[in-house]
Chains A and B, each alone.
Chain A
Amino acid sequence: MTRKEVFDEVLNIIGPFAVNKEALEGANEQTNILTGLKVNSARLVDIILDFEDKFEIEIDDDAADEIQTLGDAVDKILEIKG
């Protein structure tokens, strides 16, 4: 998958969780998932599970903790997929 394809999928997955729909419209790799998109922090768990299913990977807790922005998520997914 290209970086762009991964980014688009990440955005698809996070979309329904995003409370700030305006920020979602203009989201880029620097957009912060919690402070920018206003995703409820408890829901990060569900987003990680959706990443695992979509990209057929396993994301351990330490790796999950490093994801702050949409770009972080793309980096981590690409890194684990190898």
Chain B
Amino acid sequence: MTAETDTTRRRFGAEQRVVITGMGVVAPNGHGLDEFERALREGRTGIRFVEELKELKFGCQVGGVPQGIDEIKTEYFSPDVLMAMNSSMTFAAIAAIDCWRDAGLPEHLPEEGVVDWDTGAIVGTGVGGVDTLGDKVVAGVTAGRTKRLGSTMVEQTMSSAVSARIGGLLGLGNQVTTNSSACSTGTEALIMAADRIRAGRATRMLAGGAEGYSPYIWAGFDAMRVLSRAYNEEPERASRPMSASTGGFVPGSGAGVLMLESLESARERGAHIYAEVLGGHVNSGGQRGTGSMTAPNPEGVRRCIRAAIADAEITPEEIEVVNGHLTGTMADPLEVENWRAALELTPETIPFLNGTKSLVGHALGAAGGIECVASLLQLDRGFVHGSVNCEDLHQDLEKFSSRIVRETRESSAKTLAKASFGFGDVNACVIFRTVDE
């Protein structure tokens, strides 16, 4: 950070600067930061054929599901906790515990009675415990066996299931809540958490998103015909953001959780700082103009990006990398044009651009969390991962070709913008910058 920015912050009063000091990720192509980094660098996909989807006659029979989680979850959770953990909660809680450990914070056994009053969590989900509803509640209630449901249905189906579980596992005493804004959920959570620390209401906040794996979660999207159907035989080629031959997005699942902390506290602890949350913004396009429940109003997207830049007190030219929302639908060309217009740059001068969904699919409420982890790994570890499966760029994107990163490259970029957009015409954009220690 420059001294000038320090002064600017002071001018606005006691606002705290916010940095990232820990991360945890459960992604379809890797669990844990090192494995995830390798997968991103090597272009290793997490998209696989899912037999269950074929049996259920889905049009899309490929998806992103984290692997090997059943085998490791007993290392993370005691038997009584595991009895009340559906897949979104499991992914969220593993990512949160990994994040906590990565941040180097002390772990206490529950019986020690220690509550961390200065740390909270905003960890969201787009759909939530629909697997529990579908597998257990609906079947049991319809059969007249409500009494047999047991005690664990509420805690797995309440909207705040993911954050509530994390709060209990870690003994969090600050705000613990779940946000839900469709596919912008994870990035929105991070911005909300940063706001809370900036305002001095918390010292640390875990933030991110989680989405479980269940055909019940993906079914509605399949019925909308927005999922990829043409690559069931070639899963590794199915997720094709920015490609001319994409046929819809590939559903994903998992979780990404980040530790946000005041710079003051991070420095005091001597914590590793991945980057500063320089600024961010969330808004909605109002579902007006070309915006609707399912499509973005470009004006809203552009305002969101511009407001994030203004909040960060930087110029558009300072952004070196953009990690886009880029789902693999026909909205991709529109998104890239929105970036160009918001930044007021030419197609040849926009920041380098990539899309993590090309490797993990679209993890819905977890997308922002997983992709913010990907963004920060790239800044911290000096690379920009290749966006795969867009050898054949959509014709409207050809003019951006020199800026679209298709092969992983080393990078010394310090400033990255990440955005997520969602149904409901909601937008979230955050700016990260590395911190000189």
Contacts and interface: CB of A to CB of B under 8 A. Distances in A.
A20 to B, nearest CB: 8
A43 interface: yes
A19 B151 CA distance: 17
B150 interface: yes
Nearest to A16: B79
Contacts, number: 28
A42 interface: yes
A19 B83 CA distance: 13
B57 interface: no
Interface string A32-48: 00000011101111100
A19 B78 contact: yes
B83 A46 contact: yes
Contact of A43 (B78, B110, B111, B151): B151
Interface string B141-165: 0000000101110000000000000
A49 B78 contact: no
A20 B152 CA distance: 20
B80 A16 contact: yes
- Chain A interface mostly: helix
A51 interface: no
Contact of A45 (B79, B111, B150): B150
B83 A16 contact: yes
Interface residues of A, number: 14
Interface in A1-26: 16-20
A67 to B, nearest CB: 15
B113 to A, nearest CB: 13
Nearest to A17: B80
Contacts of B79: 16-17
B82 to A, nearest CB: 8
A46 B150 contact: yes
A49 B150 contact: yes
A38 to B, nearest CB: 8
B78 A45 contact: no
Nearest to A18: B80
A49 B80 contact: no
A44 B150 CA distance: 9
B152 A46 contact: yes
A19 B111 CA distance: 9
A14 B304 CA distance: 53
A19 B80 contact: yes
A50 B151 CA distance: 12
A42 B151 contact: yes
Contacts of B83: 16-17, 43, 46
Contacts of A46: 83, 150-152
Contacts of B148: 49
Interface in A24-82: 38-40, 42-46, 49
Nearest to B150: A46
Contacts of B110: 19
Contacts of A49: 148, 150
B80 A40 contact: yes
A19 B79 CA distance: 9
A37 to B, nearest CB: 10
Nearest to B78: A19
B80 A45 contact: no
Interface in B77-131: 78-80, 83, 110-111
A38 B78 CA distance: 14
Nearest to B152: A46
Given A16-B79, A40-B80, A43-B80, 10 more contacts: A17-B80, A17-B83, A19-B110, A19-B111, A20-B111, A38-B111, A44-B151, A45-B150, A46-B150, A49-B150
10 contacts: A16-B80, A16-B83, A17-B79, A17-B83, A19-B80, A19-B111, A43-B151, A44-B151, A46-B151, A49-B150
Which 7 pairs, one residue from A and one from B, show the smallest C-beta to C-beta distance?
A16-B79, A45-B151, A42-B151, A46-B150, A17-B80, A46-B151, A43-B151
